[in-house]
Chains A and B, each alone.
Chain A
Amino acid sequence: MARGEVLAVRQASVSLSGRSILKDIDFSLEAGEFCGLIGANGSGKTTLLRTILGFIAPSSGSVTIDSGGKLASVGYVPQKFALDPYMPMRARDLVALGLDGNRLGVPLPSPGRRRKVDEMLESVDATRFADQRIGNLSGGQQQRVLIAHALIRRPRLLLLDEPLANLDMRSVAGVVALLRRLSQEFQTSVLLSAHDMNPLLSAMDRIVYLAHGRAASGSTDAVVRTEVLSQLYGYHIDVVRVHGRVIVVAAEAEDDAQAAVAHDPVHVAQVP
């Protein structure tokens, strides 16, 4: 693993139930880098993140995380977070569990612990709803609480699975700005999956683009190009830039091609 790298994924392949899902994925993240993991539904974003977390073992290749000597080196915000509304837990209780949820014993009230939790809630702008049941919070509010839970130990690496899905446009911009700021403040590398790269264009230092089980990675300008994506998809792809937005369109109306990039043309309609 090279100096300054926090995460190195080397030629990693993953199979699930005998099906090959990811092939020869290769990229690395440096300290404090902000990276978008972009791909359509079913392209393997969740699978890749779970492999990095160690929940799935790669069939070949390797995943290395440099913990930098920290115990809590990775934070995670899952895609599906099904919460029972009756869960007897306030936003601040969940954030506190991020701090010491692995410790044995009943937590004793301590001013230091409370201050850390308050500060973290403040950083993600969640102070307003800190004392409400998490099950009663909106999706966007829960998202912020989960980010606080994941970040309170200041991990070296933060993985977020589709944190922008289910957010309205204003909240998307807010969460991206928040993550960018926290990543710089805490020197945490961020790897964030999304099916639309547009909200991330200004924030990303690097992109990992997934299609057909393979990945292209590098700076956005290097990866989001007609030649690179056409090679990744295996058929001609046009990358169109309009009004500072990127639109990925399949030239042929192949069913498969349409399915693979169908998510992108939809955004044309959203341009304000």
Chain B
Amino acid sequence: MDVQTLLSLLFEPGFFTSEPVRTAAVIGAAAAIVSGVVGVFTVIRGQSFAGHSLADVSSAGGSAAFLFGINPLLGFLGMGVLAAMSMELVRADRASERDLVTGVVTGAGLGVAALFLYLDMTTSSTTGAAVTVMFGSIFAIPASLVPLALLVGAGALLAIGVLYRPLLLSSLDPDLAAVRGVPVRLMGLLFLIVVALAVALSAITVGAILSTGLLIGPAAIALHLAKRPGLAILLAAVIGVAVTWGGILVSYDSYEWTGGRGWPVSFCIVMLIFVAYAVVAQTGPARERRQEHPLPSGEKPHVTSAG
């Protein structure tokens, strides 16, 4: 088998020339990079639930955008940022309290989404919006959305780059950060707004509900592999892009195997993430037992003598 036939087996005809595929690849990569970078901080701050909640609440904005015919990215963004700010402004010091607030806000957000989606269905008599908002339809993204998506992505990455060190320190330990003069609460607020940007980007890509997969999955894999922060972030972005493009490819090719029905891209992406995580979690160096440190030469082991 030569390279030519191998390639044509991997990539079904038209893959590289299709306009929807190209748009999907660009927006998907932007969403994956931002989600990977932001996801690492989300995981080490223990805010995975907050990230998921932002996605759910932002779906209210996404469905409103469908109902009123405005740019869906703006809908997700607006609602997500609003939710991020209100979640940070509610002063919840204990983790359990924070979870309660987040849970209640999530329920309300999804309820509003349900209302808008219902209204949309009754006025346009299709169920398309629900699937698009919740599970994404990446091949249906208009190319006109690309500039705004890239702008949002660049903004999120810039913010993480600027906040990098104080954010890292306050994620590690808020008290240590406060002693070094870091405004910890402001950091928390700014970070959650950046999470909202990342989530909005993934929401138009893999859908609001599945955006958690793209936010947490690649980051979780990277944290298993990398032992320094910069490397973990880079790795999460690369893994995110790899699974997103891989998912797009599998989905595109699946039209061939399934007699023209095809599998949704979102499904393919999150399944790739799941498989990758399962593999890494089995073999990653983080699972190794703690290394023993031999005493430096010259130091004698301490022997306790009684009496």
Contact = CB atoms under 8 A, between A and B. Distances in A.
A104 B165 contact: yes
B100 interface: no
B177 A101 contact: yes
A203 to B, nearest CB: 19
Nearest to B304: A272
A107 interface: yes
B293 interface: yes
Interface string B267-307: 00000000000000000001000110100100000101111
B179 A76 contact: yes
A45 interface: no
Nearest to B161: A106
B175 A102 contact: no
B296 A128 contact: yes
Nearest to B307: A272
Interface residues of B, number: 42
A61 interface: no
A102 B181 contact: yes
Contact of A72 (B180, B222, B293): B180
How many A residues touch the partner, as a band? 35 or more
Interface string A96-139: 01101111111100000000000000000000110011001010
A118 to B, nearest CB: 16
B255 interface: no
A168 to B, nearest CB: 8
B170 to A, nearest CB: 9
Contact of A169 (B46, B163, B229, B304): B304
Contacts of A88: 40, 44, 222-223, 226-229, 231-232
Nearest to B224: A86
Interface in B169-209: 169, 172-173, 175-182
Contacts of B169: 97, 101-102
A141 B176 CA distance: 18
B46 to A, nearest CB: 8
A75 interface: yes
A87 B293 contact: no
Contacts of A3: none
Contacts of B150: none
A128 B176 CA distance: 24
Which interface residue of B169, B224, B230, B307 has the most chain A CB atoms within 10 A?
Answer: B169
A107 B165 contact: yes
